[in-house]
Amino acid sequence: MSAALLLTLLLGLGCGGEPSTPNPSPSSTTTAAKATGPGRVYAPVGLGSPATPEEIAAWDLDVSPSGEGLPAGSGTVSQGQALYAAQCMACHGVKGEGGVGPKLIGPDDAKTGFGDDPKIPKTMANWWPYATTAYDYIRRAMPQHAPGSMTPDQTYALTAYLLAENRVVGADFVADAKTLPAVKMPTTVKFVPDDRDSSNVVR
């Protein structure tokens, strides 16, 4: 039995066995819908509910290379150092040398690095083309066992600390929505824009 047919049958049962319209008009949906909590209205078949503004905001975190999407807040290198020790060190090593997670700190590798020798480990200094997307990644993906748990201030601090340890910025650097897009990453020049058109041809 197809899913559409099953759904139609279920809709029919829900209306006392009478044949039902697969796409009820907005007015009949409103009449039959049941509010079961603040801001939540469930459809008659009980499938899903509209996402609340808070639920959307929790997922709407992406930051572009230009810095678009960076939130308010800021963080210092020393705040990041303390957070790194508490939240990141167990997987990425005492000095960012790597462990369960990849190596994050390696100033010497930045001299050659990504694109020159595939055997050289990729770190934030020799691999990330933008400081803004490093923020984006940490905010959405780390720590690996609790992604999304770092606040904007904490993420700014961790980004500042990792950039400073990689000698990309100074120890007095304060990361925020203005300073991160202005950071010059050592390897930005090694990346080229992906100019493939829809035919997948690299020009």
Q: Shortest gap between Cβ of 129 and ligand HEC (angstroms)?
A: 11
Task: Convert residues 1-40 into a mask of x (bound to ligand HEC by CB under 6 A) and - (unbound).
Answer: ----------------------------------------
Residue among 122 and 167 whose Cβ is closer to ligand HEC: 122
Number of residues that bind ligand HEC (CB under 6 A): 20
Q: Is 101 in the site for ligand HEC (CB under 6 A)?
A: yes
Q: Is 87 in the site for ligand HEC (CB under 6 A)?
A: yes
Q: Is 90 in the site for ligand HEC (CB under 6 A)?
A: yes
CB count within 10 Å of CB 123 equals 25
Q: Shortest gap between Cβ of 42 and ligand HEC (angstroms)?
A: 36
Q: Shortest gap between Cβ of 114 and ligand HEC (angstroms)?
A: 10
Q: Shortest gap between Cβ of 32 and ligand HEC (angstroms)?
A: 45
Task: Convert residues 33-72 into a mask of x (bound to ligand HEC by CB under 6 A) and - (unbound).
Answer: ----------------------------------------
Q: Give 60-67's long-range contacts (Cβ < 8 A, gap of 24+).
A: 61/136, 61/139, 61/140, 61/148, 62/136, 62/140, 63/132, 63/133, 63/135, 63/136, 63/139, 64/132, 64/133, 65/129, 65/130, 65/132, 65/133, 66/132, 66/181, 67/132, 67/177, 67/180, 67/181
Interacting residues with ligand HEC between 107 and 146 (CB under 6 A):
122, 127, 134, 137-138, 142-145
Residue among 63 and 158 whose Cβ is closer to ligand HEC: 158
Residue among 80 and 181 whose Cβ is closer to ligand HEC: 80
Q: What is d(CA 57, CA 117) in angstroms, rounded to the nearest whole number?
A: 41
CA distances from 149 to 20, 86, 106, 118, 155 (A): 45, 13, 26, 33, 10
> Assign residue 177 a region: left if phi > 0, alpha if psi is -120 to 50, beta otherwise?
alpha
Q: What is d(CA 124, CA 88) in angstroms, rounded to the nearest whole number?
A: 15
Q: Is the peptide bond before 50 cis (omega within 30 degrees of 0)?
A: no
The residue ranges that bind ligand HEC (CB under 6 A) are: 87-88, 90-92, 100-102, 104, 122, 127, 134, 137-138, 142-145, 150, 158
